[in-house]
Amino acid sequence: MTQNAFFKEVFATVLDYSIDLYAYVDIKNTYQYISKSYAHFYDFEVKDLIGESPKQVFDQDTYRNIVEPNLAKCIAEKAPVNFESWILAKKAEEPVYLYTSYLPHVSKQTNEVVGVIVISKDVSEFKRAEGLLSQSANTDALTGIPNRLYLENKLNVLTESYHRSSDRFALLFLDLDGFKEVNDSYGHAVGDKVLYQVASRLSKNVRAQDIVARYGGDEFVVLISPLVETDVINIVKNKIERTISQPFDISGHKITIGVSIGTSVSPDETFSVDDLINFADRRMYHNKNKKMQRK
């Protein structure tokens, strides 16, 4: 065995059996190399992915919002891109938290990027442990967004401070339409993926200072604070209805659901946190019932 062949064999063994995940994506966005660790982590065989796009591995939102833009940035800037994120794979039942590096492969002949080396490390357990220490009391474990306790504490702070501020705020109470049928037809693992993606879409359709919280089950709350113009409520409602009505691509299934929304405004209607939630909740069910009657 020549020295080059020896080292090639050694490096292939290291890459294939490392706990880290390695891949090479060419300029046409197709896999040219996949380590066994990478393929098995995403529940594929190596041969199944060679020549395929990362679109085959990741769910639609993860690919469009995380994988694709970071690959494009690496190629455009000819520079490494390092990021960490919860990602969802098509064959996975729950998201995983990865530290990922995209390294540009620059041709010595043309000085152009001809591919991207991908290195990922699964640190989900560390991230979950960190979350348990710092955020578990206030974060929904499934979706990673604020939970009911955090929301109610925030509402208490806002209502108590109103006498020191002229800020108004709006509460949007959301309930998913058709979610029970998703669980019944595809199982709770798929239903959980839907909830995760709903949370992601909602978070992208509000301002940075607003809050999206999972209230429980398939119920979410959006807190618009401060509310300067009342028209903003309808703008946000329309954006939410549009984004949730778009099909969810999960585990090979095209899933379509809807959303019913009820609103309340403080201090216009009440200073009471319970009343604010109840007003919005009742209006949401009123709107849901109207939809059912039209069917």
Cα–Cα distance for residue pair 180/188, rounded to 1 Å: 10
Residue 290, classed as helix, strand or coil, is helix
Which residue in the list 59, 177, 210, 218 is annotated as catalytic? 218
Query: H or E element: which one contains 267?
Result: none
Contacts of 277 by beta carbon, 8 Å cutoff, 6+ apart: 155, 171, 173, 221, 264
Contact 262, 241 (CB under 8 A): no
Is residue 61 part of the annotated active site? The answer reads no
Q: Which of 249, 275, 273, 246 is nearest to 259 (CA)?
A: 246
- Find the DSSP H helices in 161-272: 179-186, 188-204, 231-245
Per-residue CA distances from 292 to 82, 177, 247, 285 (Å): 47, 10, 20, 10
Give the CA radius of gyration of the chain: 23
Question: Which residues form the catalytic set?
Answer: 218
